[in-house]
């Protein structure tokens, strides 16, 4: 039985040095390999022309450039690309690349196979939970998009941890991924966003990390009764606790916080909810990022209509709360927010 190949995407530069030393090769080879992988973003060892052929052959024999297998790829009429990846143990995750007119290229990546949060309007939440992804499995999703864009003389400019899963439920691996996105892919902290449904201890912990990464909170309701019904985690950490943690983050980071809001017709787009949200956020250094609900098979609610959306925005403005209505992207290939879904194989204990 052969040993499992070493995934080079899981190694830091110091680890690469240790690998070459173990092969009785000089350390400078590690720097060469690092540059080929993370600066030039090549997809094969044959392209690493300043490495001796014998080393390239040994790399091909004992290591691999990634472990994710593309099962399917779909492209929306708006240019959005969605990939379904198979993980080594047979689990599946999806990742999305969105192109914008201002030349932004944003990767939306997954942090878990499935999700344990159970948000009723989210396709991933309807799946159930299989397992956490490792940092290298999360990072590799962005890496593949960065490679493809560089081959077309473009660059990956933004990354959002908003795909399948709750990043703060997989805190350590999500944070390691964020650091690697900055160090190995050169993505600036302010061009990385992590989204959470409101895991209060982790929000506070994240505030103490001292990063300038953007934080987005999936809020979706401004009263506990309504939020309990939509987002079960609210029963554990209610709105008062969540707002307290958000204010702590703003105080510690000096950063504006974003609240995500799914506009559900007749539920979260009403005048009462708009006033409740305005009262909840009044005076806070924040922004509301609203999007008409994206359809999923497991939820019967529909998206808000334009007039109600505009009225909701106007009410918030009276409280000094700014709201942007986001353009829905990739809907025709189920690549929009809350639409990512795949098969969950087995279950894993929630930690």
Q: From the candidates 241, 271, 337, 343, which is the catalytic residue?
A: 337
In a domain? residue 343:
no
Q: What is the spatial distance between Cα 60 and Cα 5, in angstroms, rounded to a whole number?
A: 9
The yes-or-no answer on residue 337 being catalytic is yes
Q: What does the pLDDT read at residue 119?
A: 82
Q: Are residues 45 and 124 in the same domain?
A: no
Q: Are residues 229 and 320 in the same domain?
A: yes
Q: What does the pLDDT read at residue 250?
A: 97
- Secondary structure, 3-state, the chain: CCCCCEEHHHCCHHHHHHHHHHCCCCCHHHHHHHHHHHHCCCCCHHHCCCCCHHHHHHHHHHEECCCCEEEEEEECCCCCEEEEEECCCCCEEEEEEEECCCCCEEEECCCEEECCCCCCCCHHHHHCEEEECCHHHHHHHHHHHHHHHHHCCCCCCEEEECCCCCHHHHHHHHHHHHHHHHHHCCCCHHHEEEEECCCHHHHHHHHCCCCCCEEEEECCCCCHHHHHHHCHHHHCCCHHHHHHHHHHHHHHHCCCEEEEEEEECCCCCCHHHHHHHHHHHCCCCEEEEEEECCCECCECCCECCHHHHHHHHHHHHHCCCCEEECCCCCHHHCCCCCCCCCCCCCCCCCC
Q: What is the spatial distance between Cα 36 and Cα 143, in angstroms, rounded to a whole number?
A: 13
Q: Are residues 82 and 222 in the same domain?
A: yes
Q: Are residues 12 and 86 in the same domain?
A: no
Q: Are residues 125 and 38 in the same domain?
A: no
In a domain? residue 201:
yes
Given a cut of 60, is residue 296 above it in pLDDT? no
In a domain? residue 154:
yes
Given a cut of 80, is residue 334 above it in pLDDT? no
Given a cut of 60, is residue 348 above it in pLDDT? no
CATH of the domain at 74: 3.20.20.70
Q: What does the pLDDT read at residue 266?
A: 80
The yes-or-no answer on residue 122 being catalytic is no
> What is the mean predicted confidence (pLDDT) over 220-249?
95
Asked whether 231 and 119 are in contact (CB, 8 A), the reply is: yes
CATH of the domain at 10: 1.10.150.530
Please state the domain count of the chain.
2
Given a cut of 90, is residue 314 above it in pLDDT? yes
Q: What does the pLDDT read at residue 301?
A: 63
Q: From the candidates 94, 166, 226, 267, which is the catalytic residue?
A: 94
In a domain? residue 345:
no
Among 249-253, 300-304, 343-347, the range of highest mean pLDDT:
249-253
In a domain? residue 152:
yes
The model's confidence at residue 77, banded by pLDDT at 50, 70 and 90, is confident
Q: Are residues 39 and 97 in the same domain?
A: no
Question: Which one of 18, 41, 64 terminates a domain?
Answer: 64
Q: What does the pLDDT read at residue 297?
A: 59
Asked whether 95 and 108 are in contact (CB, 8 A), the reply is: yes
* Residue predicted with more confidence, 213 or 325: 213
Q: Are residues 39 and 74 in the same domain?
A: no
Q: What is the spatial distance between Cα 286 and Cα 267, in angstroms, rounded to a whole number?
A: 23
Place of tokens 């024999």: 61
Q: Are residues 77 and 44 in the same domain?
A: no
What is the per-residue pLDDT across 142-182, written as a single tens digit (0 to 9) for each?
999 999 999 999 999 999 999 999 999 999 999 999 999 99
In a domain? residue 100:
yes
Given a cut of 70, is residue 202 above it in pLDDT? yes
Q: What does the pLDDT read at residue 346?
A: 47
Q: In this prediction, what percent of the chain has a pLDDT beyond 90?
A: 73
Place of tokens 């025709």: 332
Q: What is the spatial distance between Cα 120 and Cα 300, in angstroms, rounded to a whole number?
A: 10
In a domain? residue 265:
yes
The model's confidence at residue 284, banded by pLDDT at 50, 70 and 90, is very high
Q: Are residues 59 and 160 in the same domain?
A: no
Q: Are residues 10 and 138 in the same domain?
A: no
Q: What does the pLDDT read at residue 329?
A: 52
Is the pTM here over 0.85, yes or no? yes
> What is the mean predicted confidence (pLDDT) over 282-304?
77
Q: What is the spatial distance between Cα 195 and Cα 259, in angstroms, rounded to a whole number?
A: 9
* Residue predicted with more confidence, 60 or 337: 60
What the block records as the tokens of 272 is 């009462």
- For 37, the domain range is 6-64
């Amino acid at each position: 039985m052969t040993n499992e190949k070493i995934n080079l995407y899981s190694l830091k530069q110091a680890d690469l040095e240790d690998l070459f030393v173990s092969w009785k090769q000089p350390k400078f080879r590690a720097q060469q390999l690092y540059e080929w992988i993370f600066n030039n973003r090549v997809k094969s060892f044959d392209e690493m022309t300043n490495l001796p052929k014998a080393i390239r052959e040994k790399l091909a024999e004992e290591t691999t450039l990634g472990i994710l297998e593309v099962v399917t790829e779909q492209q929306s009429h708006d240019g959005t690309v969605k990939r379904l990846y198979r993980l080594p143990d047979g689990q599946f995750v999806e990742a999305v690349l969105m192109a914008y007119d201002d030349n932004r290229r944003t990767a939306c990546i997954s942090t878990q196979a499935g999700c344990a949060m159970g948000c009723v309007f989210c396709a991933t939440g309807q799946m159930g939970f299989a397992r956490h992804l490792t940092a290298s499995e999360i990072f590799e999703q962005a890496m593949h998009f960065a490679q493809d864009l560089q081959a077309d003389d473009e660059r990956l400019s933004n990354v959002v941890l908003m795909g399948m899963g709750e990043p703060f439920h997989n805190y350590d691996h999500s944070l390691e991924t964020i650091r690697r996105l900055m160090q190995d892919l050169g993505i600036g902290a302010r061009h990385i966003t992590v989204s959470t449904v409101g895991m209060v201890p982790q929000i506070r912990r994240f505030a103490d990390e001292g990063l300038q990464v953007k934080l987005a909170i999936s809020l979706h309701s401004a009263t506990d009764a309504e939020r309990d019904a939509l987002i079960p985690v609210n029963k554990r950490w209610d709105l008062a606790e969540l707002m307290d943690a958000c204010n702590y983050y703003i105080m510690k980071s000096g950063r504006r916080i974003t609240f995500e809001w799914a506009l559900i017709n007749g539920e979260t787009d009403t005048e009462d909810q708009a006033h409740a949200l305005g009262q909840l956020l009044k005076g806070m250094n924040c922004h509301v990022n609203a999007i008409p609900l994206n359809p999923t098979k497991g939820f019967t609610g529909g998206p808000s209509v334009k007039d109600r959306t505009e009225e909701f925005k106007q009410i918030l403005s009276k409280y000094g709360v700014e709201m942007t209505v986001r353009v829905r992207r990739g809907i025709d290939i189920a690549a929009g927010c809350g639409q990512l879904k795949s098969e969950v194989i087995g279950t894993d204990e929630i930690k």
